[in-house]
Amino acid sequence: MSYDANLMKARLGNLMGPAFYRVLAAAALCVALALVNDAFLSTNNLLNVLRQASLLFLLASGLTLVILTGGLDLSVGANVGLSACVAGTVMQSTGSIGLGIVSGLLCGTAVGLVNAALVTVLRLPPFIATYGMLWALHGVTYAYMAGATVHGFPPAFRTLGSGYLLGVPVPIYLMTILLGVGTFLAQRTTFGQEIYAIGTNPEVARLSGVPVRRRLFFAYAASGVMAGLASLVYLARLNSAEGDIGEGLTLPAIAAVLVGGASLFGGSGTLAGTLIGALILTLVLNGMNLLTIHANWQPLVTGVVLIAAVLIDNIASRRTESRA
């Protein structure tokens, strides 16, 4: 067989692989939900689902990068909370959207840099370091807000989260841009190649001359930046910010990445996968809403989905190992 035919075969093989089944699962969910409740197929609901999924995707995108390197950033949700509060309060006190946006992004970046330093410079194990940061950030957010709430932001800012552009919710544009840029980074830059190598086997990467610690530093910092960006969109969508805004965001973010097929051990996963994971999770939660299942069920379902995803991945990888 000619070289190109081989390549096509290999590509199609990947296509029929796990990603395919995930897309299938998402499609199946849509069909099921449509059958269960007519309201599902309404334009309003579908756009809403996409909007929610985009928000979750924004949050989970930086996390995907970190998980690709074989690490973890548990502080992502709290980062969003703090950054949203900072952005909100600055916007309110200065009246400037620009300053609000900048301060939110700066806050997210700062947290990311701290995480990066803890993991790469102080060499703390990523999960305990970011877990400590998670709680530290919650506390800082509470102290900063001191029980107050900020709300009522200028409409121009609100379009970021709740607005429409040409009939499509704005977050979806952001999601698309991020997906495009992120996938480009992953597939079409040397940085992406290095990240995947580091996740697969950091020692092989190091011995091949890849600057592992520099790349890891960047990954954690980037996760922080993305959290900052996500916080702006969340703030715009919720139109308010208070001390506990960040709670309960970390679990769905991790779930989205893992359901999307990324391996906890690093080296495999894509942003597109995370998007599908975010979509699946959002569909499940949307379905619960449509069935008027109480929001209290959400952490339960997210936890079950997370465990199921990890289990399925574990079983699947054992199967491929025995085949190889």
Partner 1 sequence: MREPPLLELRGISKTFPGVKALDDVSFSVYPGEVHMLLGENGAGKSTLMKVLCGAYKADLGQFFHHGKQVQIDSTAAARELGIAVIFQEFSLVPYLNVAQNIFLGREPSGYLPGTIDLKRMHVQARRILDQLGLSLDTHTLVHSLGVAQQQMVEIAKALSQKARILVMDEPTAALSDRECERLFSTIRQLQADGVAIIYISHRMAEVFSMGDRITVLRDGRRMASLMTGDATPDQLVQLMVGRSVDMSYARNFCAEPGELLLDVRNMSASNGVHGVSLKVRVGEIVGLAGLVGSGRTEVARAIFGADRVTAGEIWVCATRFAGGPEQAREAGMALIPEGRKTQGVALTRTVSENLGLASLPKTFPNHLFDPRKARQIAQALIQRLRIATPSPERNVQVLSGGNQQKVVIGKWLQAGSRLFIFDEPTRGVDVGAKAEIFALLDRLVAQGASVLMISSELSEIVHVCDRSYVMKDGTIVGHLQRAELTEERVMHLAVGQGSI
Partner 2 sequence: MNDTQVARPLMRLITHVPGVTWVLLMLILVFSSLSGNFLRAGNLANIGEQSVVLLLLALPMTFVIMTEGIDMSMGAVLSLTSVVLASTLVATGSIALALSAAVLIGLAFGVFNGGLASWLKLPPFIVTLGTMGVAQGLALVATDGDSIIVGTQLTRLYTTQFLFLSLPMWLAILSYGAFHVLLQRTRFGTYVCAIGGNRDALTLAGVSAGTYHVAVYALSGAMAGMAALVLTARLSAGHPSAGIGMEFDAIAATIVGGTSFERGKGWLLGTLLGVVAVGVLRNGLNLLNVQSAVQVSCIGLLVIAALLFDGLKDRA
Residues found near partner 1 in the complex (CB under 8 A): 3, 6-7, 10-11, 187-194, 196-197, 200-201, 203-211, 267-268, 324
Give the integer Cα–Cα distance in Å for 318 and 262: 15
Kindly state whether residue 300 participates in binding partner 2, applying the rule CB under 8 A.
yes
Q: 14-29: b or e for each residue (b if 16 or more CB lie within 10 Å)?
A: eeeebbeebbeebeeb
Angle at 303 between CA 297 and CA 305, to 5 degrees: 100
User: Which distant-in-sequence residues (6+ apart) come within 8 Å of 236 by Cβ?
Assistant: 153, 157, 158, 159, 160, 161, 162, 163
Picked from partner 1, partner 2, none, the partner binding residue 7 (CB below 5 to 8 A depending on kind) is partner 1
Query: What residue type is assigned to position 50 of the chain?
Result: L
Element (H, E) at 131: helix 126-145
Picked from partner 2, partner 1, none, the partner binding residue 204 (CB below 5 to 8 A depending on kind) is partner 1
Kindly state whether residue 264 participates in binding partner 2, applying the rule CB under 8 A.
yes
Kindly state whether residue 135 participates in binding partner 2, applying the rule CB under 8 A.
yes
Query: What residue type is assigned to position 94 of the chain?
Result: T
Q: SS3 for 228? A: helix
Residues in 160-179 at the binding interface with partner 2, rule: CB under 8 A = none
7 or 27, CB closer to partner 1?
Answer: 7
Residues 118 and 206: beta-carbon distance below 8 Å: no
- Least distance in angstroms from the C-beta of 223 to partner 2: 17
Give the integer Cα–Cα distance in Å for 178 and 246: 22
Picked from partner 2, partner 1, none, the partner binding residue 193 (CB below 5 to 8 A depending on kind) is partner 1
Residue from 270, 298, 303 nearest 284 by CA: 298
180 or 299, CB closer to partner 2?
Answer: 299
173 or 191, CB closer to partner 1?
Answer: 191
User: Which distant-in-sequence residues (6+ apart) come within 8 Å of 271 by Cβ?
Assistant: 61, 64, 178, 179, 182, 183, 186
Task: Single out the segment in contact with partner 2 by CB under 8 A; choices: 19-27, 172-180, 208-216, 251-259.
Answer: 251-259
Picked from partner 2, partner 1, none, the partner binding residue 192 (CB below 5 to 8 A depending on kind) is partner 1
> Which of 46, 310, 312, 316 is in the footprint of partner 2 by CB under 8 A?
310
Residues 174 and 51: beta-carbon distance below 8 Å: no
- Encoded one letter per residue, x for contact with partner 2 by CB under 8 A and - for no contact, window 115-134 reads ---x---xxxx-xxx-xxxx
Picked from partner 2, partner 1, none, the partner binding residue 207 (CB below 5 to 8 A depending on kind) is partner 1
Picked from partner 1, partner 2, none, the partner binding residue 142 (CB below 5 to 8 A depending on kind) is partner 2
Picked from partner 1, partner 2, none, the partner binding residue 35 (CB below 5 to 8 A depending on kind) is none
Kindly state whether residue 282 participates in binding partner 2, applying the rule CB under 8 A.
no
Residue from 135, 98, 113 nearest 232 by CA: 98
121 or 308, CB closer to partner 1?
Answer: 121
Residues near partner 2 (CB under 8 A) = 118, 122-125, 127-129, 131-143, 146, 243, 251, 254, 258, 264, 294, 296-304, 306-307, 310-311, 314
